[in-house]
């Protein structure tokens, strides 16, 4: 049995007390009081019914559901001696043995722009987001040609595509609108702060950002959703309607975005997400979990790629870190 340093134990205990103190006044509200506040200021709480087999079959007969997700991994040491690999996958429920795969790599050593040959974490992070977002949108676009789906489920919020893949994203939105394909994003880890912002607006003495993730923990019942009203949804300005929903027995909630022009389908799509999510899961539709598992670039895959398709001397000279050598 390993031992834990006493100072480290104290630091974790202090962190616990600091978090408890920061949120005590807010999270100390009883559940019904908070639910009332949400309904008055954020949106209506309503119960969802799972879609029946007849409705699910109609989706299947009309092209099925496409799930889209991306993955990345890095091999090497400190900047610029690494290679990052990106992969996106679009997979349809109607043709499970077929899929669309898009790939790309980033190696700072071969960048032509001298300004990029600096250890600038923001530049590196932006390049990752740009490459991965564009690959995911490209995979979704190709899935329209290949599968003609009823709906496309993107893994994550939709607003990031506005930022990192604007041109291709506009093309995808337009095609979905013109061809009647419903386009939604399923958000596992919500990072919005609508509820906390409204609480702080009414209580200026409260400081710091308060995220919806912690505010909604254990507040919704299994199968409930919050249909976020226009005035509370900051994504509205970017052209998206949103809901929060508790799609599993886990006390946490997930989010769902839909493009504004398809708002009329938001409740049905929330019910679809609820229906496709196993009750004892982490709250994500099973099909997206399957896509996530298939697209993931593991450390073993990265190592296999580098060792098999790169000269040993090049690989070791540029991309084997001192830590890897020790291992």
Encode pLDDT of 24-55 as tens digits: 766 666 778 899 999 999 999 999 999 999 99
Distance CA 294, CA 172 (A): 23
Residue 121: C-alpha distances to residues 36, 42, 193 (Å): 43, 36, 26
pLDDT over threshold 60, residue 325: no
Provide the CATH topology of domain 28-326: Nucleotidyltransferase; domain 5 (3.30.420)
Residue 143: C-alpha distances to residues 256, 279, 284, 310 (Å): 21, 29, 21, 31
Residue 256 CB neighbour total at 10 angstroms: 27
Q: What region does 90 belong to: left with phi over 0, alpha with psi -120 to 50, or beta?
A: beta
Residues 231-260 have pLDDT tens digits of 888 887 688 999 999 999 999 999 999 999
* Burial of residue 69 (number of CB atoms within 10 Å: 0-12, 13-18, 19+): buried
Which phi and psi angles does 286 have, rounded to 5°? -55, -40
* DSSP-assigned beta bridge partners for residue 106: 84
Rounded to two decimals, what is the model's pTM? Answer: 0.90
The domains of the chain are located at 28-326
Closest among 220, 289, 287 to 254, alpha carbons compared: 220
Residue of 321 and 39 predicted with greater confidence: 39
Long-range (24+ apart) CB contacts under 8 A made by 167-174 are 168/134, 168/137, 168/138, 168/141, 169/133, 169/137, 171/137, 171/141, 172/137, 172/140, 172/141, 173/259
Distance CA 281, CA 188 (A): 12
Distance CA 325, CA 316 (A): 9
Residues 182-216 have pLDDT tens digits of 999 999 999 999 998 888 888 877 777 889 998 99
With H, G, I as helix, E, B as strand and everything else as coil, classify residue 95: coil
Altogether, the residues listed in the chain come to a count of: 327
């Amino acid at each position: 049995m390993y031992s834990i340093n006493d100072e480290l134990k104290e630091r974790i205990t202090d962190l616990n007390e600091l978090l408890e103190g920061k949120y005590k006044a807010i999270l100390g509200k009883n559940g019904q009081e908070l639910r009332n506040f949400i309904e008055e200021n954020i949106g209506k709480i309503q119960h969802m019914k799972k879609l029946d087999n007849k409705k699910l079959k109609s989706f299947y007969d009309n092209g099925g559901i496409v799930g889209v997700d991306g993955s990345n991994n890095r091999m090497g040491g400190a900047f610029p001696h690494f290679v990052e690999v990106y992969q996106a996958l679009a997979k349809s429920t109607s043709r499970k043995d077929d899929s669309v795969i898009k790939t790309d790599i980033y190696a700072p050593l071969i960048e032509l722009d001298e300004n990029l040959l600096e250890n600038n974490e923001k530049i590196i992070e932006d390049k990752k987001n740009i490459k991965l977002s564009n690959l995911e949108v490209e995979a979704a676009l190709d899935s329209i040609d290949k599968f003609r789906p009823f709906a496309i489920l993107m893994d994550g919020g939709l607003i990031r595509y506005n930022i990192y893949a604007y041109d291709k994203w506009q093309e995808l939105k337009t095609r979905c609108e013109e061809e009647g394909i419903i386009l939604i994003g399923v958000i596992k880890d919500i990072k919005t702060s609508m509820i906390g912002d409204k609480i702080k607006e009414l209580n200026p003495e409260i400081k710091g950002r308060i995220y919806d993730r912690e505010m909604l923990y254990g507040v919704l019942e299994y199968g409930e959703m919050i249909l976020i009203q226009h005035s509370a949804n900051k994504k509205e300005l970017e052209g998206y309607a949103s809901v929060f929903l508790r799609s599993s027995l886990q006390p946490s909630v997930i989010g769902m975005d839909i493009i504004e022009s398809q708002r009329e389908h938001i409740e049905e799509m929330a019910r679809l997400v609820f229906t496709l999510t196993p009750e004892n899961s982490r709250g994500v539709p099973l099909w997206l979990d399957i896509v996530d598992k298939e697209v993931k670039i593991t450390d073993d895959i990265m190592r296999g790629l580098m060792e098999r398709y790169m000269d040993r001397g090049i690989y070791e000279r540029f991309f084997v870190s001192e830590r890897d050598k020790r291992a």
